[in-house]
Amino acid sequence: MAAPLINIRPCLPILASGGQILTPNNRLRNKLRQAYAYAQQSQGLQQWPAPAIFTLSEWLQGYYEELLYSQPTVQPKILITQAQRQQLWRQIIADDNQGAELINPARLASDADSAYRTLELWQLTPDDLSNPTDDRANAPTQLGIDALHFESEASIFQHWSTSFAQQLCDKSLMTFEQLQAQVNQALAEQILQLPPALGIYGFDDIPPLTQATFSLCQPQSLPLSQVNEPQLRRVELASLDNEIHAAAHWSLNQLLHNPQATIGIIVPNLGQTRHLLERHFTEVFEPHFYLPETERFTLPFNFSAGIPLGKTPFIFDTLQLLKLQSRQWDSEALCSLLCTPFWGEENDTQTIAEIIAAVQSLGREHITSSQLRHIVHRQNLAVTEAAKHNPQRHPEFIHWLDNCLQTLADNRRHVAREQSAGQWAEFFLQQLELLRWPGYRRLDSNEYQQMQLWLTLLEDFSQLDSLGCLLTHSQALDQLSQLAVTTPFQAQTPDSPIQILGALEGSGLQFTHCWVLGLNHKQWPPSPQPSPLLPLQLQKHLRMPHIDAEKELQYAQKLTDNYRVCAKQIVFSSASQDDESPLFASPLIRDIALTTSEQLFAPTSNINPTVDLSAYSQQVVQARTLEWVNNASAPPVEDQERLQLTGGSSILRNQAICPFAAFAIHRLGAKAPLPAYQGLSPIDRGHILHNSLASFWLEVKTQEQLLALDENKEATLIRSHVEAAISPYKKRAPDIMGPRYTELEISRQCQLITQWLAQEKQRPPFTAKDIETTLKVDFHGLPLTLRLDRLDQLENGQLIVIDYKTGSPNLNQWQGERPEEPQLPLYAVCYSADIHALMFVEVNARQVRPIGLGDLSEPHDGITPIAQAKQDLPEDWQQTCVHWDKSLTQLTEDFLQGEALATFKSQQAMRYYTDILPLTRQAEQDRLQQLFSASAGQTITELTS
């Protein structure tokens, strides 16, 4: 058994006389019982009666049960649970019209519950907020406070708390404070018999209700464990991270020097810094814990503060699984959920990846449940078909998922809109069973404990039935999620030599070594946090908790005094800087002599500590053996791969800008998902514009017909084609494409098209010969599919290739040996007839204009004759086409031969490839060049040339 953290000797006479000992919390109770067991074992005993050590709440509940048995006439009431309290406050606040538009219901319910609990602990009633009846509640008059102001400040909460008290009475419920008041009355009337002796240990800042209990019992206040002549040290470190890391190293050194040491790490704001503490202590004590092949195990330190159950990965994903029946989902959260191991059979990772890709391809921040079902159903059909030709594809998982989502939707449709909490709990369990929760792998110890607590949580949730309230599906999920987030989970772990404690948990314990960190002037004493719902002057007059700086100073001073005598060696630390400003040591510890961190570790400098994560990583870097590999050339494209290549002219575009980009995107599949948009994405708007113009010219066909349209008919025709083009988007996302938003987009598209058609009327006469046609070619061994927006034929038979651009095209992208926009030059080279001009049509909010190059027999607005173009191109059109054929052929051959040099044509072009920049290692080039030169005496360019 581990050494006790409490001196049990002052407690032994009380326990030996048949008395009882009370503590304010479970942790002190457990430590006292552990110390008592240690004392019995030290005397050679192997068994002994359980000591009468209880928490105050346990002691009071025991007396209340005794009262019910001894007094049959007492009307029993049920103790209200925390979940019931929260729901009751929510209902009261929601039904009150005075503050309904000004509040966050969940936060305000918590504040109201806390304020009501404070009222009961100070033995006040809601009426005391506005109708003082005794000297304490008469504080406004005595202090000269405006009574009207006092009453208005408390009037809303008074109304709520009166309703809360009435609801408790109507439903035969009671708060724990009401239970304590009944026990106090029974003790005063001597209906209940007190123990022969009573001791209290660790109580601090006792409220009036508890003081009334103790005044009736006259308990003996037991002294906290103290160490004589402790060695105090103080250290200042750069940041909180440095404090925690130093404390972890110091703890490890103490244990290596003395394995029997008991170490306390006391952190006033433990709840906010728990994740930092766990990370640093893990890195120092168990760096291999982070290795993927390492199974989960109990770490060699123990936290007094648990983590919210709803924040653990297992229960967080469980709650997310229950939301699969929600009408709308966050796309990123859904993709994360699909990868969780806590559902289904062993997942088909390829199928899951394909579903995620399909969700991301929608480019939506949110996705509806029907869209998810549609995606999975299509995937089911595709995988089933692929399995006929590929025995390695197994359709069982996607087939199950398809049926499962459909069943979930059917179940949701057939359930009542509003149900009791118990009915929803049963419904949720059925849903989890359908999803094969908790998954295909065996749960580890922590996850198993979380599952047991989750089942208990559902029972607590079902107790809301006693309130008689009905909940919708979303309300039930919200309540269950709130309950999970407010329920602490503390894993059951064996005794540990290192205890990481909060401010209150550390008081009253005794260690061999202790480090108290985070004691800067902003943090300690803590800032006042008075109740926002109780009158401030009343709180000040009655000295309620956290009311002002003076109260917080007294609280912090008393705890600090306890810390100063809790161990033989004690270190107090503070940070000198946070993210915002400089920090200084708390005034409560400035009297302690400052020690440098080097002096702090000096006594154990001869100990060789195990390597922490940062040191281990540094050793790996220093021990590396570099092998220089030429990645400028990839394997050539083989025939089977050639047939599977997709991308069209973008293959040559990427090859021209960065050969490695072409290799990564088109051969390795390194494609980033589309960014999510609230409404239509720029790509969607571009497609609508292209489709509208395509259908318009399929109907109008010539400039002559365009000129024959009057203004009204032209506007009507444009609108009809835009409406037809936008219709599929309305069906696909009706939640986004509402009437107002759709009308705005239609108006915007019609305005742009009208502006462009006005310029079309000024062009030389033409006929739209080909519209949205597809040209499939084998370009020097590379299969390409080219899609043409439009091919116009002038009266003299000359042909112009037109490409609509909603961006800002630049003719410079056609020039040089590596043209960055090869689509139109490719069409000019591959089309069966001679092309006489290439033209971009820029259509966007900034401007609407044609821009192009060619060799036409008559002037054309926007098309520059090739002989006059100031471009890096031949001055003859035919020679320009030959130049394009040669340069594009070279790009094609380079791609097929595997050229993959990670150099960009220009720095400006790099911004289009941010998703693959880490693969190119552009940011590391200078350092890589230095390493290579040092190791091989060459330059990287020499190696790759």
Which residue reads 């709180």 in tokens?
Answer: 539
3-state secondary structure 674-721: CCCECCCCHHHHHHHHHHHHHHHHHHHCEHHHHHHCCHHHHHHHHHHH
Q: Which two tokens stand for residue 81?
A: 């649970």
pLDDT of residue 146: 44
Query: Are the beta carbons of 299 and 248 closer than 8 angstroms?
Result: no
Query: Are the beta carbons of 700 and 706 closer than 8 angstroms?
Result: yes
b/e burial code for range 763-788 (CB count within 10 A of at least 16 → b): bbebebebbeeebeeebeebebebeb
pLDDT of residue 216: 92
Q: Interior CA angle at 477 toward 476 and 479, to 5°?
A: 65
Q: Which two tokens stand for residue 891?
A: 């790009």
Classify 815 as helix, strand or coil. coil
Which residues does 812 contact at the CB level (< 8 Å), separation at least 6? 871
pLDDT in tens, 491-535: 877 778 899 999 888 888 889 999 999 999 999 999 999 988 888
Query: In this structure, which topology does domain 231-306+493-614 adopt according to CATH?
Result: Rossmann fold (3.40.50)
Classify 853 as helix, strand or coil. strand
Which residues does 326 contact at the CB level (< 8 Å), separation at least 6? 369, 473, 474, 477
**CA nearest neighbour of 250 among 284, 296, 298, 211:** 284
pLDDT of residue 347: 67
Q: How far apart are CA 54 and CA 675, in angstroms?
A: 58
Q: Is 797 left (phi over 0), alpha (psi -120 to 50) or beta?
A: left
pLDDT of residue 921: 80
User: What's the rounded mean pLDDT across residues 36-46?
Assistant: 89
At 1, the pLDDT band (50, 70, 90 cuts) reads low
User: What's the rounded mean pLDDT across residues 754-783?
Assistant: 92
Query: Are the beta carbons of 849 and 840 closer than 8 angstroms?
Result: no
Query: Are the beta carbons of 547 and 528 closer than 8 angstroms?
Result: yes
Q: How far apart are CA 290 and CA 299, in angstroms?
A: 12
Angle between helices 473-485 and 313-322 (to 10 degrees): 170
Which residues does 833 contact at the CB level (< 8 Å), separation at least 6? 799
pLDDT of residue 150: 45
Return the DSSP state at 230: -
Which residues does 62 contact at the CB level (< 8 Å), separation at least 6? 54
pLDDT of residue 153 exceeding 70: no
Q: How far apart are CA 6 and CA 509, in angstroms?
A: 5
pLDDT in tens, 292-327: 666 666 677 888 877 899 999 999 999 999 988 788
Q: How far apart are CA 179 and CA 120, in angstroms?
A: 11
pLDDT of residue 179: 94
Query: Are the beta carbons of 90 and 105 closer than 8 angstroms?
Result: yes
Which residues does 760 contact at the CB level (< 8 Å), separation at least 6? 703, 706
Neighbours of 625 (CB within 10 A): 4
pLDDT in tens, 696-720: 999 999 999 999 999 999 999 999 9
User: What phi, psi does 773 have (nearest 5°)?
Assistant: -95, 155
Query: Are the beta carbons of 552 and 528 closer than 8 angstroms?
Result: yes
Q: How far apart are CA 424 and CA 211, in angstroms?
A: 43
Neighbours of 235 (CB within 10 A): 23
Q: Interior CA angle at 439 toward 437 and 440, to 5°?
A: 145
Q: How far apart are CA 651 and CA 778, in angstroms?
A: 13
Residue 252 or residue 615, greater confidence:
252
Q: Interior CA angle at 828 toward 827 and 832, to 5°?
A: 85
b/e burial code for range 294-308 (CB count within 10 A of at least 16 → b): eeeeebbbbbbbebe
b/e burial code for range 3-40 (CB count within 10 A of at least 16 → b): ebbbbbebbeebbeeebbbbbbeebbbebbbbbbbbbb
pLDDT of residue 943 exceeding 70: no
Amino acid (one-letter) located at 548:
D
**CA nearest neighbour of 207 among 108, 102, 122:** 122
In Å, how far from its chain's centre is CA 65?
45
pLDDT in tens, 385-428: 888 877 777 788 889 999 999 999 888 888 889 999 999 999 99
Which residue reads 């103490």 in tokens?
Answer: 254
Neighbours of 388 (CB within 10 A): 9
High-pLDDT (> 90) share of the chain, %: 47
pLDDT of residue 621: 67
At 613, the pLDDT band (50, 70, 90 cuts) reads low
Region of poorest pLDDT, from 517-531, 609-623, 648-662: 609-623
Number of H helices and E strands in the chain, helices first, is 35, 24
**Residue 611: HSE in the Cβ half-sphere, 13 Å Cα cutoff:** 9
pLDDT of residue 136: 44
Strands (E), 305-383: 307-308, 328-330, 366-368
User: What's the rounded mean pLDDT across residues 767-796?
Assistant: 91
Neighbours of 682 (CB within 10 A): 13
Query: Are the beta carbons of 924 and 619 closer than 8 angstroms?
Result: no
Helices (H), 768-814: none
Q: How far apart are CA 723 and CA 713, in angstroms?
A: 15
Region of poorest pLDDT, from 95-104, 421-430, 586-595, 732-741: 95-104
